[in-house]
Amino acid sequence: DKTSYNLPFFLQTQTFVSAKLLYDFLTAHLKKLMSDEKCSAEKVTEMEDVITQMDNYTQQELADLFVKYNVKSPSTGNDLTPPTSFNLMFQTSIGPGGNMPGYLRPETAQGMFLNFKRLLEFNQGKLPFGAAQIGNSFRNEISPRSGLIRVREFTMAEIEHFVDPNEKVHPKFSNVADLEITLFSSKAQTSGQSAQIMRLGDAVEQGVINNSVLGYFIGRIYLYLIKVGLSKDKVRFRQHMDNEMAHYACDCWDAESKTSYGWIETVGCADRSCYDLSCHSRATKVPLVAEKPLKEPISFYLNVVQFEPNKGAIGMAYKKDAKLALEYLAVCDECYISDQEKLLSEKGEFSFETEGKTFTLTKDMVSVRRFQKSLHVQEIVPNVIEPSFGIGRIMYSIFEHSFHIRQGDEQRTYFSFPATVAPYKCSILPLSHNQEFVPFVHQLSEAMTRNGVSHKVDDSSGSIGRRYARSDEIGVAFGITVDFDTVNKTPHTATLRDRDSMRQIRAEVAELPEIVRDLANGTLMWAEVERKYPIFEGQETSRKE
Amino acid sequence: DKTSYNLPFFLQTQTFVSAKLLYDFLTAHLKKLMSDEKCSAEKVTEMEDVITQMDNYTQQELADLFVKYNVKSPSTGNDLTPPTSFNLMFQTSIGPGGNMPGYLRPETAQGMFLNFKRLLEFNQGKLPFGAAQIGNSFRNEISPRSGLIRVREFTMAEIEHFVDPNEKVHPKFSNVADLEITLFSSKAQTSGQSAQIMRLGDAVEQGVINNSVLGYFIGRIYLYLIKVGLSKDKVRFRQHMDNEMAHYACDCWDAESKTSYGWIETVGCADRSCYDLSCHSRATKVPLVAEKPLKEPISFYLNVVQFEPNKGAIGMAYKKDAKLALEYLAVCDECYISDQEKLLSEKGEFSFETEGKTFTLTKDMVSVRRFQKSLHVQEIVPNVIEPSFGIGRIMYSIFEHSFHIRQGDEQRTYFSFPATVAPYKCSILPLSHNQEFVPFVHQLSEAMTRNGVSHKVDDSSGSIGRRYARSDEIGVAFGITVDFDTVNKTPHTATLRDRDSMRQIRAEVAELPEIVRDLANGTLMWAEVERKYPIFEGQETSRKE
C-alpha cells in the first residue's frame, strides 16, 4: 500500500478516462446538431462517422473538430480553448526539500502487482490465487458531479485473480452457471440490438464471455450486487467494445446499474491478460513469473535469448561500474534484448541507464546468444482477472434502488436495505415513557450488543407508528416493541416487525436478539419466522394514535 | 470525509509534532554532553534547564542553542542550518487550473466536527453521543523510520465523544472502575517517580484522571489493547505534562506500548474541552451547540450580545448586497462582536468580508446591543473526549508482543495472535496426499466458509509437524488434522489443536467448524473445549516425520 507512484504506465489509464469525458462532450454536441431538422442526411452520416471514430483522433484532430463543428461553452457561449493533456493524478512533494514529486494513487490495484512475488510465495508458488484490497483512490476530476458518482476521492475495492493463461477454467463456475443475467454484448451494441437475458453458462459456452474465470467473477459480482440491495431489473453487464477496451485487455465487462443519471458503471471486470505483470517486470527488471511443475517428468525445451557480455572489455571500459552493467544485462527480457540486438547490428552500439549511470556498449563488449534450454518446470507469466468495485457508486445505487414510498401514503418513505447491509439491524421501541418498560429495553439492548447486532433504542416521545415510520425512513430492518403485555404476562414477549412487509410476530424477549441476529446474518428468513411464531395482527394502525 | 483542509488551526498541531522531533534531537545531544566526565556541575545544571524549557524557546532561540552547544550533523559532522518552519501537511492542487491548493488531511477527526450538527440531529438533539471514523491520514514526516511507527501515510481511528461540560460523568464507568492499570501521571514524571499500577476508580476519585468520562475511555482503550494481543505488562498510560499538552486540552493520556524502540504512543486519549467546536464555529460563523432542556420548567436568563443593524443606512450604502451584510451580522459570536465594538468606538468603523464582498460599516449603520434573555433551554458547547488510535502502531505492537519461540527449539517461532484478530482462524491439514482425505477437507472448508471462519487448507507435502510449525509461524490460531481415523471410524472425527498450548482434542467433523467459530468469536474458551472433548495425546511428535 503505497502513497505515491511514479510509474509512467499509470498515465495511460488516466489519459483514457480524461479523454472519455471529452468524447462524451463532443458526442453530445454532434447528436444535438444531428437532431436538427435542417441537418442534411449527408451531414448526419459525416457526424455519425466522427462519433464512431472518436477514439482514434489525435489531440490536434480533436481541436480541429471543435472548431469545425463550432463547439462553444454550454454556459457562456464563448469559444473553447483547444483540448490539452492533463494529468488526472494529484501531485504532491514528499519530504522537507520539496523536490521529490509523488502522486496519489489513482487505483488500488498496482500495489498488488508490486507484491506479486510475496503473494505467490504465500500461496506456496501455486496458481491460481487471488488478492484483494480496499482503499481510497484519488483522481483530479475536471468536473466532479452527480453526488457520489464522480468524485475526486473515492473508495475502491479490487481483486486480482492470477491464473495460468493455459488453464483459464474456473473449478467453481458450475456454482454460477445457471444464473440468468442481463448481458449487453459488444456485438449487440454495435448492431443496435438491445441487452438480453442469458444463462451465464450459455454465454461462456457460446463465447460471448471469453472464458469461465471471467464468467465466474461476473456471476459472483452479480450475486454480490443483488445481495447488497440492487434491483435485478436495474443491473446489467455491458461488454466493452473494441474501441473502448484498453489494448491489453482480452475481454472486459462493466456491471452497470440503472439510476436517475442513466446506466452507470459500478464494477469493472476485466481480463487484463499478462499486461500489468509484464510492465512491472520490464520497469523493475525483476521477472514476475510463476513456475509450473510439469505433470509428466519429461524435460521441455525453452528458447532462451540472452546477452553474452565480454566481461573483460566491459571491465576495461567501465572499471568498478562494470558490475552494474553486468547485473543489468543479466535480467533483460527477450523483447528488450531483440531491440538492442537490432541497434547493435545497425549502429554498432546501444546505451542504457542503470542506478543513475549511463553505459554505452559496443559490438566487442556484448553479443546476443540464442539457444534451447531443457527445463523441468515451465515459467509462466500469469494472466489476471480484475474485478474492480466503485464502492461509492454501489452505495449510491443501493440508495436509489432501495428507496420506496408506502402505498397510499406519500409522506411515508423507506429504504428497503437488506438486513445484511442495513447500518442498524433493529430498533427497540418502548410503547411509552412508562418506567416498567425500561428493564426490558435494557435486557434487549444488552443481548443485542452481545450478539453483535447493531441497534437503536428510540425512547423519544411520539406514537409507536410515528417512531416506526422514522425507523423505516433510515432503513432499519426490524423493530421490536415493548408493551404492557411484555411487562404483565409470562413468559415475557414482545413484537418483532419486518420493515418491508410491516408484518409482526410475537416472541419471547429472551429469544428475540438471536432471531434478529440470524435474520441480519441471512441464515434465517422472515417467512420462516412467520411460520414459527404467532402473527401479531393489526396493532400498528391502532397504536398510531 | 474530506480530501482537503484549508483551515489554519491545523497548522498548530502539525508544527507541534515537527518541533518535538527537533527537541528530541537537541535533548539527545545535550544528554550526551552531560554524560561526559569533564562536563562541570554548573554546565550540567545549565543544560538540564535548557531541556526543561525546551518547549518555550522561540525559533531564533533554538537556532542560537544549536550554535552555542555546537550541534553538528550526526552523520557528516557538518554544521546544521538553523531550524525552519515546515508544514507537515502534504499540499496538492485541485482541478485542472492548478491554482486551487488543497491539503491531505493530517488526522481524521475534523470531519466529525464539521458534521457535528448532523450527528447531533441524528441523536435527536441529545447529549452525550459519539461518532467514530477510521481512515488514512497523511503527514510529511521529515524522516520516516522504525517500520510502521513513523510513516507518511497511516491508518487512524478516532472517536469523538461529545458531552455536556456540566455532566462529565460516564454512566458505565463502574464497568471499568475495577481495572488495575499502569498509570504514569504527570506528577510522577515531574518528580522522577516511576509509573504505578492503580485501580481506575481510585485514579478518577483521587483526581489523577480528570473525570470519569476520560477514565471510562482509558479503561475501554486498555481492554481493547489487551483483547487484540498486547501484553498487560507492556502497556501503560502516560499523562501529558503541562508543557506538552495542547493549551486547550484539560487532560490527556497516551496509551504507550513497550517495544524494542522503547515506549511508543499507540493511542492518545484527550479531553479537548470545547476547543474544536468553538474554532469551527468561529471560522464558519455557524453556532455548533446543543440545546439542553432544563429539568425545572423555570426560565433562565442569558446575557445576549448582538449587533443592532440600521437596515435603512446599510441598504442605502450597499443596495442589493445589504442582505449579505445583515446575514453576516446576525450570526457573529460575542467575542467577535466585542472586538468590533471597540473598533467602532475607537475608529468609528469596522470592515469584514463575506461571500467575496467587503463591507465597511460606520457608527450610524450598526450598534451593539446587550440585554438579558429568558430561555427555557440552555445552549451549551459540548466538550469532547477524543480517543485517537494509531492502527499501524497497534499492529506493530501486536507483532512484537505476540512473537514467541518454542521452548527448546529456537527454530520454531510463532505468533500468539488472539483468535479474534488472527488473520486465519484455522488450518485444515490432511495427514497426507491420500485421496480419501479430500472429501473431509472439503466438508470442513465449506462449513467454515458458511460460518464465516477464515481458514487455510495446507495440503502441500511436508510432515504434519512441519505444516503445524508453518501454520504457527504465521499465527493461525487453531489447526484441524484429517487422518485415517477420520476416514475409517464412525462417527467421523478429527483433531483440533490449540496453537499456543499445542494441546489437541478430538471431535466430530460435523461439530468442528462451529467450535472454531465460537473460539474465534471469543464466546468459547479453549479450556472449556478441553473439558468437553477427549484429549488427543502426544501425536504431533510421532507424526513429525
Q: What is the CATH number of the domain that holds A368?
A: 3.30.720.200
In a domain, B400, yes or no: no
Query: B306 and B337 in contact (C-beta within 8 Å)?
Result: yes
The stretches of B228-347 forming alpha helices (DSSP H) are 275-284, 311-318, 322-330, 334-347
CA B378, CA B290: separation in Å to the nearest integer? Answer: 8
Burial zone of A119 (CB within 10 Å; 0-12 exposed, 13-18 middle, 19+ buried): middle
Chain B residue with Cα closest to A474: B122
pLDDT value, residue B7: 31
A139 contacts in B (CB within 8 Å)?
none
Contact A152 B92 (CB under 8 A): no
Nearest to B222 by CA among B162, B179, B178, B177: B179
Q: What would the grid cell of residue A183 be?
A: 448481458
Distances (CA, A) of B324 to A519, B162, B327: 53, 33, 5
**Buried/exposed A374-413: b ≥16 CB within 10 Å, e otherwise:** eeeeeebbbbbbbbbbbbbbbbbbbbbbbeeeeeeeeeee
Nearest to A92 among B92, B96, B135 (CB): B92
Kindly compute the dihedral angle of the four CA atoms of residues B92, B98, B96, A276, in this order, to the nearest 10 degrees. -40
Residue A15 has pLDDT above 90, yes or no: no
In a domain, A247, yes or no: yes
pLDDT value, residue A543: 44
- At residue B415, φ and ψ (nearest 5 deg) are -105, 125
CA B364, CA B72: separation in Å to the nearest integer? Answer: 63
DSSP structure class, residue B304: E
Residue B149 has pLDDT above 90, yes or no: no
Nearest to B69 by CA among B27, B22, B41: B27
Contact B92 A94 (CB under 8 A): no
CA A8, CA A14: separation in Å to the nearest integer? Answer: 11
pLDDT value, residue B545: 35
Please, which residues bridge with residue A371 across strands? A304
Give the distance from residue B531's alpha carbon to the nearest chain A alpha carbon, in angstroms: 24
Q: Each residue of B474-508: pLDDT tens digit?
A: 999 999 999 999 999 999 999 999 999 999 999 99
Sign of CA dihedral B112, B114, B115, B119: positive
Give the distance from residue B87's alpha carbon to the nearest chain A alpha carbon, in angstroms: 8
In a domain, A403, yes or no: no
Contact A104 B92 (CB under 8 A): yes
Give the distance from residue A136's alpha carbon to the nearest chain B alpha carbon, in angstroms: 8
Residue B2 has pLDDT above 50, yes or no: no
Residue A366 has pLDDT above 60, yes or no: yes
Residue B3 has pLDDT above 50, yes or no: no
Q: Is A28 helix (H, G, I), strand (E, B) or coil?
A: helix
In a domain, A401, yes or no: no
In a domain, B492, yes or no: yes
Nearest to B543 by CA among B481, B472, B489, B456: B481
pLDDT value, residue B16: 39
Boundary of a domain, candidates B55, B87, B119 = B87
Q: What would the grid cell of residue B356 be?
A: 467575496
Q: Is B257 helix (H, G, I), strand (E, B) or coil?
A: strand
**Are B81 and B25 within one domain?**
yes
**Are B268 and B298 within one domain?**
no
Residue to substitute from B90, B118, B126, interface A, most A β-carbons within 10 A: B90
**Are B267 and B345 within one domain?**
no
pLDDT band at A460 (very low <50, low <70, confident <90, very high): confident
Q: Once rounded to an integer, what is the mean pLDDT over residues B238-254?
A: 80
pTM confidence score: 0.77
Residue A359: its H or E element: strand A357-362
**Are B434 and B373 within one domain?**
no
Residue to substitute from B104, B137, B138, B466, interface A, most A β-carbons within 10 A: B104
Q: Where are the beta strands (DSSP E) in A178-250?
A: 180-184, 196-199, 235-239
Nearest to B94 among A86, A124, A140 (CB): A140
Sign of CA dihedral B258, B259, B260, B263: negative
Q: Where are the beta strands (DSSP E) in A129-275?
A: 129-138, 153-163, 180-184, 196-199, 235-239, 251-259, 262-271
Contact A136 B135 (CB under 8 A): yes
Residue to substitute from A140, A172, A450, interface B, most B β-carbons within 10 A: A140
Please, which residues bridge with residue B129 across strands? B162
In a domain, A539, yes or no: no
A446 contacts in B (CB within 8 Å)?
none
Give the distance from residue A309's alpha carbon to the nearest chain B alpha carbon, in angstroms: 39
CA A273, CA A281: separation in Å to the nearest integer? Answer: 14
Residue A344 has pLDDT above 70, yes or no: yes
CA B96, CA B82: separation in Å to the nearest integer? Answer: 37
**Are A254 and A301 within one domain?**
no
Q: Is B14 helix (H, G, I), strand (E, B) or coil?
A: helix
Contact B152 A90 (CB under 8 A): no
In total, how many domains does chain B have? 4
CA A454, CA A448: separation in Å to the nearest integer? Answer: 7
Residue B109 has pLDDT above 70, yes or no: yes
CATH of the domain at B488: 3.40.50.800
Greater confidence (A99 vs A312) lies with: A312
Residue A178 has pLDDT above 60, yes or no: yes
CATH of the domain at B263: 3.30.930.10
Give the distance from residue B465's alpha carbon to the nearest chain A alpha carbon, in angstroms: 17
Contact B136 A136 (CB under 8 A): yes
Burial zone of B380 (CB within 10 Å; 0-12 exposed, 13-18 middle, 19+ buried): middle
Cα Rg for chain A, rounded, in angstroms? 31
A140 contacts in B (CB within 8 Å)?
94-96
Chain A residue with Cα closest to B83: A96
Residue B16: its H or E element: helix B9-34
**Are A336 and A423 within one domain?**
no
Kindly compute the dihedral angle of the four CA atoms of residues B539, B540, B543, B545, in this order, to the nearest 10 degrees. -150
Residue B543 has pLDDT above 50, yes or no: no
Distances (CA, A) of A88 to A14, A108, A276: 6, 15, 20
A96 contacts in B (CB within 8 Å)?
86, 140, 142
Q: Each residue of B174-206: pLDDT tens digit?
A: 999 999 999 999 999 988 899 999 999 999 999
Nearest to A95 among B91, B140, B153 (CB): B140
Q: What angle do CA A88, A94, A100 make, to 5 degrees?
A: 85
Q: Each residue of B356-412: pLDDT tens digit?
A: 889 999 999 999 998 877 666 777 888 899 999 999 999 999 999 999 999 888 889
Residue to substitute from B3, B136, B175, B457, interface A, most A β-carbons within 10 A: B3
What's the first-to-final CA gap in chain A, in angstroms? 56
Among A275-279, A340-344, B55-59, name the most confident range: A340-344
B95 contacts in A (CB within 8 Å)?
140, 142
B145 contacts in A (CB within 8 Å)?
none
pLDDT band at A236 (very low <50, low <70, confident <90, very high): very high
Residue B306 has pLDDT above 50, yes or no: yes
Greater confidence (B450 vs B234) lies with: B234
Which domain, by its residues, includes A428?
A: 409-532
Boundary of a domain, candidates B329, B358, B391 = B391
Nearest to A140 among B90, B95, B142 (CB): B95
Indicate left, alpha or beta for A16 from its phi (over 0: left) and psi (-120 to 50: alpha): alpha
A3 contacts in B (CB within 8 Å)?
138, 152-153
**Are B253 and B325 within one domain?**
no
Cis peptide before A128 (omega within 30 of 0): yes
**Are B44 and B20 within one domain?**
yes
Residues of B with CB under 8 A from a CB of A: 1, 3, 86, 90-96, 104, 124, 135-136, 138, 140, 142, 152-153, 460
DSSP structure class, residue B233: G
**Are B341 and B238 within one domain?**
no
CATH of the domain at A62: 3.30.40.230
**Are B252 and B134 within one domain?**
yes
Residue to substitute from B17, B22, B92, B105, interface A, most A β-carbons within 10 A: B92
Nearest to A92 among B90, B135, B136 (CB): B90
**Are A140 and A260 within one domain?**
yes
**Are B242 and B115 within one domain?**
yes
CA B414, CA B469: separation in Å to the nearest integer? Answer: 8
Residue B472 has pLDDT above 80, yes or no: yes
In a domain, A399, yes or no: no
A152 contacts in B (CB within 8 Å)?
3, 94
In a domain, A154, yes or no: yes
Q: Once rounded to an integer, what is the mean pLDDT over residues A51-76?
A: 82
Q: Each residue of A414-457: pLDDT tens digit?
A: 999 999 999 999 999 999 989 999 999 999 999 999 888 999 99
Give the distance from residue A123's alpha carbon to the nearest chain B alpha carbon, in angstroms: 10
Complex ipTM value: 0.73
Query: A81 and A90 in contact (C-beta within 8 Å)?
Result: no
Give the least confident one: A11-25, A30-44, A69-83.
Answer: A11-25
Contact A153 B91 (CB under 8 A): no
Residue to substitute from B22, B140, B391, B460, interface A, most A β-carbons within 10 A: B140
Q: Each residue of A218-229: pLDDT tens digit?
A: 999 999 999 999
Greater confidence (B533 vs B89) lies with: B533
